[in-house]
Each structure stands twice: as C-alpha cells, then as structure tokens.
Structure 1
Amino acid sequence: MTVSLSAVHIIVDDPDAALAFYQDTLGFTKLFEAENGGYRWIALSTPTQPEIQIVLEQPHGGRSQENGDAIAALLAKGELQMVNFTTDDLDETFEKIAAAPGAEVLQEPTDQPWGQRDAAFRDPAGNMVRIAQR
C-alpha cells in the first residue's frame, strides 16, 4: 500500500489577492477554479511537484456560519497553521516576495541552528509561510 500527499489547503480571505501572490510571485500554476454558494476554491501546483495541489479556499466555503466565522477570526489574527515550501534560490525568492503587494516579511533569509537556511513572511491573507533553501 502506498499513501501520498495530494493536496494542501490554505485559507484566504481574498482569493484574487492570494492567486496573484501564489501564481505571480511564487510561480505556481493555476490548475482550476470552482465556485459554490458564492465561495471560490482555486487549485494550484508547483513546477517541481505538479501532482500536489495547493488549494486556496475561503473561511466560509463549505462550512457553517459559526465555523466559518471562527476560522476567519483565526485567519485575521494570523493563527492558522503555517505552510512550508522549498526553493532552489532562497535569495531570489525572498526578493520577489519582499517586493510583492500584500506580503509581510517576518524573517530575512537566515541560517538556522538546525542546519537549514530559510525565510518567513505572511501572505496577503496573513498566513505564515516559510521558504527554505532546497
């Protein structure tokens, strides 16, 4: 039996701003977009792992009002789980992110005590994203 990762969901409050960031800044490819009840889901993939979808979804999409409100509140505080990516050129990637509208730099590229070199920022929705040198 083989089990593989197929998708990671990232909660966003503005799908257009998130799409611009993940597609235009990070270079992800848009696979498809779906809408239901006024909410959107946007699936993207990375050039190096096209089989894994990164799905941008809104807090209230497919959830009760109460649960959507709770997730939206956590998103507004920046308290949802972070997402981690790798890149073949951390410095170039960092410069693109630092210049991107809506991105907030939290940590410039840094050599970590555990041997990894990475940077941290918030995407336009406030999610923490860490990118490490591959």
Structure 2
Amino acid sequence: MTMNAISRSQIYVLDQDEALDFYVGKLGLEVAADQDLGFMRWLTVRVPGDQVHEILLEVPGPPALDPATAGQVRELLTKGAMGGWLCLTTDDARKTYEDLAAKGVDVTDEPTERPYGIDFGIRDPFGNRIRIGQMFQG
C-alpha cells in the first residue's frame, strides 16, 4: 500500500467568516467546500485550480474536541501559542509581498533570498504562520 497525495490539511481559526475574508479576500485562495454538517461547518479553501489539496478552516469544538479542550485550544490560539503552519508558493515573492502588505496583512518577515528560493512570512488573524515562497528550480 502506498499513499499518493495529501488531499486535506487543517488549521484552527476562531471565526470562519473572518477566515474566509483573509484566505479568500486577501490571499486569493478559493472556497472548495462550505457545508453545514449540522454538528460543524465544513469550510475548506484551496489554491485556485488545485483540485487535490484543500485546507480545512476549523473552529475548535465538536466533534473533534470536547468543550473544555476546545476552550483550551481557543485560549492558546488567541495567545499565538498554537498557530498552525502553511507553506504556499508564488511566481514572484517580492510582488506578492508588496500586494499583501498593501492589503494590511500581518507580515512577520520580508522577502529573503535563501538556498531554495525567496520567501517571506505572514500571520493570519488567528496566529497561524504562513510562509510564501518563490522556489528556485533545481
């Protein structure tokens, strides 16, 4: 048996509508699914055109977490102590940086050339860290 793809990842957010504004409105991702399952809202986003990889924007709570644990996760997330981590790629890191900075995105470090490419860091409104890179060929 072999695995052939990662189809979904998950990060915690405190407000899914605010998360939509950030991930779709500012980063330019698209909604892949937005469904009310009754016990939770299944909200995923993806890079436009990517039919394989989705990111679940999940509010801490049932069914994955009991109320006490969900409260602890929300508290840690609010303190910036439990943010998730995403890596996205772009064709032009410096232009992407300028565009996101102009939109008021929380930039944690400016574009820097590294052995693998040019990348920079941002943070979503909930403390999740995001690296955006222009990868070198090779």
TM range (shorter): 0.7 to 0.9
Match for residue 77 of structure 2? 75
TM normalised by structure 2 equals: 0.83
Once the two structures are TM-superposed, the CA of residue 105 in structure 1 deviates from its matched residue by 1.1
Match for residue 97 of structure 2? 94
Q: Percent identity?
A: 35
| 1:1-134 correspondence runs (5 A) | 1-3=1-3, 4-36=5-37, 39-47=40-48, 49-62=50-63, 63-79=65-81, 80-101=83-104, 103-112=105-114, 114-134=115-135
User: Secondary structure at 1:98's aligned position in 2?
Assistant: helix
Take 1:109 and 1:61, find their aligned partners in 2: how far apart are those partners? Answer: 38
Structure 1 stretches of at least 4 aligned residues deviating more than 6 Å after TM superposition: none
Which is higher, the Rg of structure 1 or of structure 2?
2
Unaligned runs of 5+ in 2: none
Task: Give the conservation status (yes or no) of the 8 Å contact 1:86–1:131.
Answer: yes
Take 2:49 and 2:96, find their aligned partners in 1: how far apart are those partners? Answer: 15
Task: Give the conservation status (yes or no) of the 8 Å contact 2:12–2:84.
Answer: no
Q: Which moved more, 1:28-37 or 1:9-18?
A: 28-37
Task: Give the conservation status (yes or no) of the 8 Å contact 1:40–1:61.
Answer: no
Q: Which moved more, 1:61-70 or 1:3-12?
A: 61-70
Amino acid at match of 1:108: E
Once the two structures are TM-superposed, the CA of residue 108 in structure 1 deviates from its matched residue by 0.8
Once the two structures are TM-superposed, the CA of residue 41 in structure 1 deviates from its matched residue by 2.9
Q: Residues 67 and 7 of structure 1: is their aligned pair in 2 closer, same or farther, counting only changes over 3 Å?
A: same
Take 2:12 and 2:103, find their aligned partners in 1: how far apart are those partners? Answer: 19
Higher strand share: 1
Amino acid at match of 2:66: S
Q: Residues 33 and 61 of structure 1: is their aligned pair in 2 closer, same or farther, counting only changes over 3 Å?
A: farther
Once the two structures are TM-superposed, the CA of residue 61 in structure 1 deviates from its matched residue by 4.3
Take 2:126 and 2:39, find their aligned partners in 1: how far apart are those partners? Answer: 18
TM normalised by structure 1 equals: 0.85
Task: Give the conservation status (yes or no) of the 8 Å contact 2:11–2:55.
Answer: yes
Take 2:67 and 2:117, find their aligned partners in 1: how far apart are those partners? Answer: 41
Unaligned runs of 5+ in 1: none
Take 1:45 and 1:115, find their aligned partners in 2: how far apart are those partners? Answer: 24
